[in-house]
């Protein structure tokens, strides 16, 4: 069990490194350019997975419409999140994206036909109160950029709903390769909108981000092989802590008391929802 927790935690740290690199480059290059270059590097480990998984037949697509919808939601969430990194502290952006599980739980009765009791509904309400606290106007007025990671959470919740339906007919490799490929092509389509020549150093940083993301996804998947989901899933929320530390060390940002309070409500609500789902 301890191995599963360690794998999940290390995965979250690596995801934070990826986010940190994307924030470092967000002021120098448009989102589409960084997403494209990172996508090119990510395609390398995906190709290895396809090869080791049995070849091209593992990429067979049964539900084309569903795959396209999932790829579009992933593309939208990625563009919105990376754009938000240009304007928001890293920890603020990451914390707001954790509204995704709250949104998923709120719409589950209609989208997935799942029963949601009053306890989880109450947790969702508390979590949304935390979101409102994080969105509250500060000294500079309403931070419109905070709506970007919140939009990311909406698209991530939509992606998770679509994924739950697709896993019945589509392989994990197929889902990953199809979505990554379309996102990379979608990013390439923005080539005429402000792309800048990229230095070898910055390209190397994106290669690092791609490696961290690829390894993180593998470690997080492996975590569920060594421990029950009810044990390792809550450790996903450690990403908020790592983002706070990285934001403070690298960018000199530290969340305001209001942001910390709102993030605490969101994370606490998400953890309680996981607990109730585990009991059911």
Total domains present in the chain: 1
Q: CB atoms < 10 A from the CB of 180, how many?
A: 18
What is the C-alpha separation between 154 and 164, in angstroms, rounded?
A: 16
Over its length of 280 residues, how does the chain's per-residue pLDDT go in tens digits?
678 888 889 989 999 999 999 999 998 999 999 999 999 998 888 888 788 877 778 788 889 999 999 999 999 999 999 999 998 899 999 999 988 888 888 877 776 677 778 788 888 888 889 888 888 765 454 567 888 999 999 998 888 888 888 878 888 788 888 888 999 999 999 988 889 999 999 999 999 999 898 888 778 877 877 777 666 778 888 999 999 999 999 999 888 888 889 889 988 888 887 777 666 6
CA distances to 25, 26, 59, 193 from 202, rounded to whole Å, are: 8, 11, 31, 19
Q: What are phi and psi of 141, to 5 degrees?
A: 85, -170
In the block, which residue shows the tokens 């350019």?
33
Specify which residues 169 forms β-bridges with.
none
pTM more than 0.85: yes
Give the residue numbers spanning the domain of 268: 2-279
Q: What is the pLDDT of residue 146?
A: 85
Q: What is the pLDDT of residue 176?
A: 84
| Torsion angle defined by CA atoms of residues 80, 84, 85 and 87, in that order, rounded to the nearest 10 degrees | 160
């Amino acid at each position: 069990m301890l191995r599963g927790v360690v794998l999940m935690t290390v995965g979250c740290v690596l995801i934070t490194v990826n986010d940190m690199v994307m924030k470092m480059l967000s002021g120098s290059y448009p989102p589409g350019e960084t997403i494209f270059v990172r996508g090119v590097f990510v395609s390398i480990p995906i190709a290895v997975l396809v090869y080791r998984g049995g070849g091209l037949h593992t990429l067979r697509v049964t539900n084309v419409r569903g795959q396209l919808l999932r790829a579009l939601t992933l593309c939208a969430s990625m563009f919105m999140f990376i754009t938000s990194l240009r304007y928001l502290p890293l920890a603020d952006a990451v914390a707001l994206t954790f509204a995704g599980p709250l949104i998923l739980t709120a719409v589950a009765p209609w989208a997935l036909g799942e029963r949601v009791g009053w306890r989880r509904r109450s947790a969702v309400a508390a979590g949304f109160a935390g979101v409102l606290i994080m969105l509250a106007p500060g000294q500079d007025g309403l931070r419109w950029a905070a709506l970007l990671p919140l939009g990311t959470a909406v698209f991530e919740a939509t992606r998770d709903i679509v994924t739950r339906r697709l896993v019945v007919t589509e392989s994990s490799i197929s889902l990953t390769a199809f979505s990554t490929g379309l996102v990379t092509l979608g990013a390439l389509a923005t080539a005429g909108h402000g792309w800048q020549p990229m230095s070898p150093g910055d390209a190397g940083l994106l290669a690092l981000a791609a490696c961290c993301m690829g390894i993180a996804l593998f470690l997080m998947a492996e975590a569920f092989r060594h421990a029950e989901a009810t044990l390792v899933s809550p450790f996903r929320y450690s990403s908020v802590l790592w983002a706070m530390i990285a934001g403070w060390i690298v960018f000199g940002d530290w969340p305001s008391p209001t942001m910390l309070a709102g993030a605490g409500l969101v994370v606490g609500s998400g953890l309680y929802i996981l607990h109730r789902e585990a009991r059911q």
